[in-house]
């Protein structure tokens, strides 16, 4: 790669790293092209890009971004998964793929500037998806409104029941 190409790659990568929420470093040695392509396709469905970049270029591009903390992990053949949307889905894809393919090793990650260990990435992968979490939140909000309506209507309902019982008693006395 000539110098202009490297500078272009660094500038492009720097722009991507600046807008990324989640970045995960993986060691891909031992994976054939077919498996890497299937991993890329699976990650693409969750709006995640898997890139194989020279470590020195990645280190230079990550300066002045949240991803600079990955500098100490840039050793050996690494690929970086970059995501700027839902962070749970790519973590699930990577963890599942790593379980099925022992050659893929998750090294480390960064979530909005905070370093993630392999255990934390696994925990992130176990979270429900964004849609499921939003559904649960919606059910809690609807449940709270329903409870509030029941509580507020209990006092008038109780008054009506007492008046009805009083009316029935008066009719039975006559």
Same domain membership, residue 141 and residue 122 = no
Range of the domain at 138: 129-174
Question: Residue 78's closest CA among 48, 105, 45, 40?
Answer: 105
Residues 6+ apart with CB under 8 A from 14: 61, 62, 63, 64, 65
Residues 6+ apart with CB under 8 A from 20: 66, 67, 82, 83, 84
Provide the pLDDT confidence category of residue 154 given band limits of 50, 70 and 90.
Answer: confident
| pLDDT of 129 over the 80 cut | no
Same domain membership, residue 109 and residue 51 = yes
Q: Are 81 and 42 in contact (CB under 8 A)?
A: no
Burial of 67 (0-12, 13-18, 19+ CB in 10 A): buried
What's the average model confidence in pLDDT over 121-131?
A: 84
> How many angstroms separate the first and last alpha carbons of the chain?
105
Place of tokens 């492009």: 12
Residue 157, pLDDT score: 87
Tell me the per-residue pLDDT of 79-100, one tens digit each, with 9 for 90 and over.
Answer: 899 988 888 888 999 999 989 9
Number of helices and strands (H, E) in the chain? 6, 5
Same domain membership, residue 153 and residue 103 = no
Tell me the per-residue pLDDT of 3-40, one tens digit each, with 9 for 90 and over.
Answer: 888 888 888 888 888 888 888 999 988 888 898 899 89
Same domain membership, residue 107 and residue 38 = yes
Same domain membership, residue 89 and residue 138 = no
Same domain membership, residue 119 and residue 101 = yes
Q: Is 97 left (phi over 0), alpha (psi -120 to 50) or beta?
A: alpha
Q: Residue 34 is part of a domain; what is its CATH number?
A: 3.30.70.1730
Same domain membership, residue 111 and residue 146 = no
Tell me the per-residue pLDDT of 39-84, one tens digit each, with 9 for 90 and over.
Answer: 899 988 888 898 888 888 888 888 888 788 888 888 888 889 998 8
């Amino acid at each position: 790669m000539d110098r202009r190409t490297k500078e272009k790659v660094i500038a492009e990568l720097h722009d991507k790293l600046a807008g990324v929420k989640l970045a995960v470093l993986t060691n891909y040695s031992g994976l054939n092209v077919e498996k890497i392509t299937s991993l890329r396709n699976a990650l693409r469905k969750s709006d995640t890009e898997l890139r194989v970049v020279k470590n020195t270029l990645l280190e230079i591009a990550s300066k002045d971004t949240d991803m600079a903390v990955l500098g100490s992990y840039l050793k050996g053949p690494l690929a970086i998964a970059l995501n700027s949307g839902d962070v749970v889905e790519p973590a699930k894809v990577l963890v599942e793929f790593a379980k099925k393919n022992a050659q893929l090793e998750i090294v480390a990650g960064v979530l909005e500037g905070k370093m993630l260990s392999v255990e934390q990435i696994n925990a992130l992968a176990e979270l429900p998806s964004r849609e499921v979490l939003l559904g649960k939140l919606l059910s809690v909000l609807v449940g709270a409104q329903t409870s509030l309506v029941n509580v507020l209507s209990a006092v008038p309902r109780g008054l009506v029941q007492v008046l009805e019982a009083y009316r029935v008693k008066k009719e039975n006395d006559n």
